[in-house]
Amino acid sequence: MLATLGVVTSLTLGAALTGSPSQAQAAPEQTLVSRATTKAFAVTSAVVFNRNAASITDPRSPWVVVNKKRPLNPPQLRASARIRTDQLRVAPVAAVGASKAATKMLATYQAETGRRMQSQSAYRSYATQVSVYNASVRIRGVAATDKIIARPGTSEHQTGWAIDVSALPSNCSLSTCFANTHQGKWLSANAWRFGFLLRYPANKVAVTGYSFEPWHYRFVGPYLTTEMRRTGFTTLEEFFRLPAAPSY
């Protein structure tokens, strides 16, 4: 059986990222509409996995790899084809494919367990990332901030493909203890079924460049998560044979 994932986005392109690493600078945005070709992802074990089924450089692609060595191009890209749904509470905005998959995942969790969880953060604009990053720099400094927060133009949240999940009611929100909650354990075991990848594992800090974030899940689609699970890879960098990105 074939399962298809349609990806159609419009993008806002802005000027390049400017300013020093310690203080990111916001800049005006310009709008440019573009449509990505809808791609079909065959979820089947009968064929050889196709590593070229989607782009790892195009931010419109759910396979795009964004890290400290692979910034968004342009840095101020804004994925505007997003969707709102009551299932994604608090921050109910994400790329269409990610939002639909997250809605199904959260609904399945509630149906299977009688408990609930929510998306606490999904899409973040470049300007929002500027504010988040700079606020942390003022408190922690650049070095400590770079371990936990992406600089503007290098955040997965800016693509709309990432979500931060928390328990509902809130418990260990945006904290490593979320891994030990019922919700965190269920996600760790089941998120791949819905096309979500735990993006920053505890034992892969040297590869991803970020501290363990058991709440941060990245949508890549079930075709890719199934293959990563089969082959034992836990990071996009390692699966696609890309250099590790421990620093900028």
Does residue 45 surpass a pLDDT of 60? Answer: no
Q: What percent of the chain has pLDDT over 70?
A: 75
Query: Helices 96-113 and 182-190 meet at what angle, rounded to 10?
Result: 120
Residue 156 a catalytic site member: no
As for how many domains the chain has, the answer is: 1
Question: Within a domain: residue 36?
Answer: yes
| 97-133 tens-digit pLDDT | 888 899 899 999 999 999 999 988 888 889 999 999 9
The domain of 145 spans 11-239
User: Model-level pTM?
Assistant: 0.79
Does residue 82 surpass a pLDDT of 70? Answer: no
Question: Within a domain: residue 158?
Answer: yes
Predicted local confidence at residue 185, as pLDDT: 98
Question: Within a domain: residue 166?
Answer: yes
| 143-196 tens-digit pLDDT | 999 999 999 999 999 999 999 999 999 899 999 999 999 999 999 999 999 999
Question: Within a domain: residue 23?
Answer: yes
Using a 10 angstrom Cβ sphere, with 0-12 exposed, 13-18 middle and 19 or more buried, the burial of residue 110 is middle
Question: Within a domain: residue 247?
Answer: no
Separation CA 219–CA 239 (nearest Å): 15
Q: Of 213, 227, 237, 238, which is the active-site residue? A: 213
Question: Within a domain: residue 124?
Answer: yes
Sheet holding 29-32, edge to edge: 29-32, 11-14, 78-79
Question: Within a domain: residue 245?
Answer: no
Helix (H) or strand (E) holding 183: helix 182-190
Token pair belonging to 35: 């449509």
Helix (H) or strand (E) holding 29: strand 29-32
The residue behind tokens 């990105």 is 245
**Residue 80, domain CATH:** 3.30.1380.10
Q: How many residues does the chain have?
A: 248
CA 113 to chain centre: 25
Does residue 19 surpass a pLDDT of 60? Answer: no
Predicted local confidence at residue 33, as pLDDT: 30
Predicted local confidence at residue 162, as pLDDT: 94
Question: Within a domain: residue 157?
Answer: yes
CA nearest neighbour of 167 among 109, 123, 111, 82: 109
Does residue 216 surpass a pLDDT of 50? Answer: yes
